[in-house]
A and B are shown apart, each in its own frame.
Chain A
Amino acid sequence: MAIVETRGLTKVYRKGHQGAVVDVNLESREGEFLVLLGPSGSGKTTLLRMIAGLEEPTAGEIRIGGRVVNDLTPRQRGIAMVFQSYALYPHLTVLGNIEFPLKARGMAKADRRAKADWAAGLLGIGKLLARKPRELSGGERQRVALARAIVREPSVFLLDEPLSNLDAKLRASAREELEQFQDKVGTTTIYVTHDQVEAMAMGDRVVVMHQGEVRQIGTPADVYDNPADTFVATFLGSPPMNLLEGPRATVGFRPEHFHPAALLPAGEPFLALRFRVSHAEYLGSERVVYGTIDGGPFSGKRAVARMSSNVAARFEPATMHDFAVADRDLKFFDPDRGVATGRVELA
């Protein structure tokens, strides 16, 4: 187990162009599950590849367990990586795949077999050892890739979107297994994903990236409840946070905090908004209502409300409703730079 740190880490592919990764400063904690989250092209995979030693940084420093590893090859860094495609060796059996890192290290044959059995047992693939990767299902391949990664007990795990090749149903169970697995082995893990649900569910902390830069680092609750800027606010959450651009500040609030004024507890200070419904979606357990704000400084701005299906009110198109957001659920952002600010008086 080890701590991974990056200092001023930058990767520029073409001189004079925007870097793929720009000045990233990270510090993982011991045994932590750290998730790099961002849309595609945000630099998260490049960052992971630099930590793995597959990509050379343009500037900055990478430390693993306190040691600067910039000049070390991947094999010297004591890391294991699971690729998005799993990158299993197609001509080797499952056993051959799992044993490969041990062979590369020069471990004796008997020890290798014992280790491989241990790793296969941990992932429940003991029966598949004689198969070739093409004879396995997606979920089984993912387990083989994980077994190959843990078999040499690395100090750091790097996972690059390991669930993205699985179908939706399998993904949920694989996610849960992966979480339990990481708890069990307790190895520091850096996990790349573009899926916010994965990030929120699995991460001890989430690093939100955009255009090569880190926008926010925090626990899932942190980044969701207190987004550092408008990008983080809209990237997380579905539907995303409502952002109403006003003359003094951009006001943000989550759709689930935007509901009929009558539902607010008495005595709670709030921001009242007239809401003109354009259409509503019924999603079983909840309803999502789309519309525009009518009157006041935010007149004409679009907003979305999400509420439990238990809320009795009907939301027919073109009807007007009195909605409200509790003061404590309001977020404020600088209208020019988009970064979070303290409370701003709107009137």
Chain B
Amino acid sequence: MFLPAMLYVAALVGVPFVLAFLYSVGDVKVGSRGYHFVGLANFRSVFQNPAFFRALENSFIFTIASQVLVLVGATILALGLKDAFPGRRALRFLIVLPWVAPVSIGSIGWKWILDSLYSVINWVLIRLHLANQFSPPMWLGEPKLAMLSVILVHTWHMLLFATVILLAGMTSIPRDIPEAAEVDGAGFFRRLFQIEIPMMLPIINVAVLFGIVFTFTDMTVIYILTRGGPYDTTQVLPSLAFFTGILGSDLAEGAVISIFLVPMLVVVAWMMLRTASRAEVT
């Protein structure tokens, strides 16, 4: 019964996973034919590369910052979309768009919005006299702004997913509990922070954990907007692994870099399973 599923998982997850470990301790390059065990030489080489630590740090900044923004934004949106109002369906549709549009198309759109010469944001800022016409912000060209830009675009892309999960969580709270809080004299913020959000915590956990996995392993936005630049300042682990292993033909080092994703993801996966089993109990 389970055999097809097991085979499927083994072929699609197990084999590449084992391969990555083998590559990380071998001398594999794109086009090379042999395999020689080289021990931890690849790891040593990666550790001597400052770009790697930069990418490790960036991975955490990118993930944490975008997830915090997603969580706050999704909570506000879910609260706004919870009750019926004229135009709610249209608004819901608009919020779904960034998610259903291929992320590459969205990111290319953003690339132009943030372009150094044709940026519509800069055009507006200059007209409002908020930016200097002759040295407008280089959204993708200055390290800090570039990081901010990729974080915001990724947040834009992930927002809907979290909103939908939170909306589902909110509608699962029995209507009379917030009502009881209202009769008990709680105002809007007390109801939100002391009743509704605590009751939604299990589902918020799910949204955050999925968001972390999707963000930590994703490189699309960064690949299209900055290619990790300028000077590797927006490089994250997946993009660095790709540039090193595939574009740089050094499969072994690429494998080493991607293996650093594993411990982090194992922790997140464990937390996900724990949350899921707890949600079942209550």
The answer to whether A and B assemble together is yes
A residues with a Cβ closer than 8 A to B are: 52-54, 73-75, 79-81, 83-85, 87, 89-91, 100-101, 103-105, 134, 148, 152
Say yes or no: A134 contacts B187, CB within 8 Å: no
Residues of B close to A91: CB separation below 8 A: 198-199, 201
B 153-172 to A, binary, CB cutoff 8 A, 1 in contact else 0: 00000000000000000000
Residue from B176, B186, B195 within 8 A of A85 (CB atoms): B176
B residues with a Cβ closer than 8 A to A are: 174, 176-177, 179-187, 190, 194-195, 198-199, 201, 282
CB of A49 to closest CB in B, whole Å:
8
Q: A53-B182, A75-B185, A104-B186 are in contact. List 13 more A-B contacts (CB 8 A).
A: A52-B183, A75-B183, A80-B184, A81-B180, A83-B179, A84-B176, A90-B177, A90-B199, A91-B198, A91-B201, A104-B181, A104-B187, A134-B282
Say yes or no: A83 contacts B176, CB within 8 Å: yes
For A158, the closest partner residue in chain B by CB is B183
Known: A87-B174, A91-B198, A91-B199. A148 touches B179 (CB 8 A): no
Residues of A close to B198: CB separation below 8 A: 91
A101 to B177, CA, bound (A): 13
Residues of B close to A103: CB separation below 8 A: 190
Give the most central of B179, B180, B186, B199: most A CB within 10 Å. Answer: B180
Residues of B close to A85: CB separation below 8 A: 174, 176
Q: Classify the secondary structure of B's interface with A.
A: helix
Residues of B close to A54: CB separation below 8 A: 179, 182-183
Say yes or no: A79 contacts B183, CB within 8 Å: yes
Residues of A close to B282: CB separation below 8 A: 90, 134
A341 to B15, CA, bound (A): 89
For A132, the closest partner residue in chain B by CB is B282
Say yes or no: A75 contacts B174, CB within 8 Å: no
Residues of A close to B194: CB separation below 8 A: 100
A124 to B146, CA, bound (A): 63
A90 to B185, CA, bound (A): 18
Residues of B close to A105: CB separation below 8 A: 185
Say yes or no: B176 contacts A73, CB within 8 Å: no
**8 nearest A-B pairs in the assembled complex, by CB-CB distance:** A87-B180, A75-B185, A104-B185, A101-B184, A87-B176, A104-B186, A74-B183, A91-B198
CB of A147 to closest CB in B, whole Å:
12
A100 to B177, CA, bound (A): 12
Say yes or no: A104 contacts B184, CB within 8 Å: yes
A284 to B278, CA, bound (A): 51
Say yes or no: A80 contacts B183, CB within 8 Å: yes
A90 to B178, CA, bound (A): 12
Residues of A close to B183: CB separation below 8 A: 52-54, 74-75, 79-81
Say yes or no: A100 contacts B179, CB within 8 Å: no
For A52, the closest partner residue in chain B by CB is B183
A–B complex contacts, Cβ < 8 Å, 18 sampled: A54-B179, A54-B183, A74-B182, A74-B185, A75-B183, A75-B186, A80-B183, A85-B174, A85-B176, A89-B180, A89-B181, A89-B195, A89-B199, A90-B177, A90-B199, A104-B181, A134-B282, A148-B184
A54 to B183, CA, bound (A): 8
Say yes or no: B199 contacts A100, CB within 8 Å: no
CB of A138 to closest CB in B, whole Å:
16
Residues of B close to A84: CB separation below 8 A: 176
